[in-house]
């Protein structure tokens, strides 16, 4: 039996402290009462669970799972579940708080939450991931619910994982409960456009910022760090609006073309290459760290 240890966090990189420093500045600008500030700086609920599953080789690994509900004042809490080796409690606390702020500033009746499992999904088979999703859901059976806390896809998870989550939750309740999760497949009641939604949000925010800065999209170049669900759609949608994407990167490396990268071809190459961007034709390989300095 082995235990997957969450990655340690250095103080200067602590995502919760980073969030709190920004929240403090915002609260001062807003003139927030101390009582309200003190309520909002602490998560409403923090859940940590051990998740033992049988691996394909017959061994048992124990993973650590989290769910943090930062606030449910405005309504049921809402937030993704990520599968990544960097998952830890401070990251979940920070991301849950950011979900609270995001829901509040656009005035929708949800609070903020975030969940995750410390694992490397790229090193796991579909069967192992399914067993992990199902035991995580069972451990959160009293936390999740359409009127309590609604999970969603995040880093390392997607419609497939949400379908397993919905199925396990529904089995435990003896009836189909589609509304306990978002980001599920269309056939299970998912929403059209959900897969592209986050990348579309990046595009909309980027163009809004460019307009404020008086940058013409048709004369602009950009780079996109990350080429998963969010980055690839952000790049594609920016390209469709006239922005020249000259560099993209993922965990496998970074690619550069001063004349612009054909994003549809890049997505096709990635999908045919087991999700790996490295080796993209008609591009020069560059150091991934260089991409943000272009």
Distance CA 132, CA 116 (A): 11
Q: Are residues 92 and 155 in the same domain?
A: yes
242-263 tens-digit pLDDT? 999 999 999 899 999 999 999 9
Q: Are residues 127 and 204 in the same domain?
A: no
The larger pLDDT score, comparing residue 7 to residue 240, is at: 240
Q: Are residues 158 and 260 in the same domain?
A: no
Distance CA 177, CA 88 (A): 29
pLDDT at 292: 86
Average pLDDT over residues 58-72: 98
Distance CA 146, CA 178 (A): 9
pLDDT at 8: 57
The pLDDT > 90 percentage for the chain reads: 90
Distance CA 115, CA 20 (A): 19
78, 93, 114, 184: which one is catalytic? 114
- Residue 275 binned pLDDT confidence (cut-offs 50, 70, 90): confident
Q: Are residues 246 and 281 in the same domain?
A: yes
Asked if the model's pLDDT at residue 7 lies above 70, the reply is no
Query: Residue 142 sits in which domain range?
Result: 2-191
- Residue 4 binned pLDDT confidence (cut-offs 50, 70, 90): low
Q: Are residues 161 and 68 in the same domain?
A: yes
Final residue belonging to a domain, choices 135, 161, 191: 191
pLDDT at 5: 60
Beta bridge partners of 117: 65, 83
Instruction: Report the domain count for the chain.
Output: 2
10-43 tens-digit pLDDT? 555 789 999 999 999 999 999 999 999 999 999 9
157-179 tens-digit pLDDT? 999 999 999 999 999 999 999 99
Is 244 one of the annotated active-site residues of the chain? no
Both tokens of residue 264? 């549809």
Q: Are residues 157 and 257 in the same domain?
A: no
Q: What is the CATH number of the domain that holds 236?
A: 3.40.50.720
Q: Are residues 171 and 224 in the same domain?
A: no
Q: In 3D, which of 96, 181, 172 has the Cα closest to residue 141?
A: 172
Q: Are residues 142 and 67 in the same domain?
A: yes
Asked if the model's pLDDT at residue 294 lies above 90, the reply is no
In the 8-state DSSP scheme, what is residue 30? Answer: H
Final residue belonging to a domain, choices 158, 173, 191: 191
Q: Are residues 97 and 203 in the same domain?
A: no
Q: What is the CATH number of the domain that holds 34?
A: 3.40.50.10860
């Amino acid at each position: 039996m082995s235990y997957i240890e969450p990655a340690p966090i250095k103080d200067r990189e602590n995502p919760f402290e980073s969030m709190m420093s920004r929240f403090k500045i915002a609260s001062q600008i807003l003139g927030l009462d101390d009582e309200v500030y003190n309520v909002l700086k602490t998560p409403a609920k923090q859940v940590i669970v051990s998740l033992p599953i049988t691996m394909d080789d017959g061994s048992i690994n124990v993973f650590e799972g989290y769910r943090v509900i930062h606030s449910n004042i405005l309504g049921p809490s809402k937030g993704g579940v990520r599968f990544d080796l960097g998952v830890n409690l401070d990251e979940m606390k920070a991301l849950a708080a950011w979900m609270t702020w995001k829901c509040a500033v656009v005035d929708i009746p949800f609070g903020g939450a975030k969940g995750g499992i410390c694992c490397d999904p790229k090193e796991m088979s579909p069967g192992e991931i399914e067993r992990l999703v199902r035991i995580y859901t069972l451990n959160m059976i009293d936390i999740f619910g359409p009127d309590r806390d609604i999970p969603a896809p995040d880093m390392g998870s997607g419609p497939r994982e949400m379908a397993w989550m919905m199925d396990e939750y529904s089995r435990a309740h003896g009836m189909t409960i589609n509304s306990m999760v978002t980001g599920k497949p269309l056939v299970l009641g998912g929403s059209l456009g959900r897969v592209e939604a986050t990348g579309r949000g990046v595009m909309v925010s980027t163009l809004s910022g460019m307009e404020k800065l008086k940058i013409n999209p048709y004369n602009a170049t950009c780079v996109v760090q990350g080429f998963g669900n969010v980055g690839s759609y952000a790049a594609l949608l920016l390209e469709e609006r006239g922005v020249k994407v000259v560099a993209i990167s993922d965990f496998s490396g970074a690619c550069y073309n001063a004349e612009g990268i054909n994003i549809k071809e890049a997505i096709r190459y990635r999908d045919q290459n087991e999700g790996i961007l490295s080796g993209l034709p008609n591009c020069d390989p560059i150091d991934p760290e260089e991409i943000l300095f272009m």
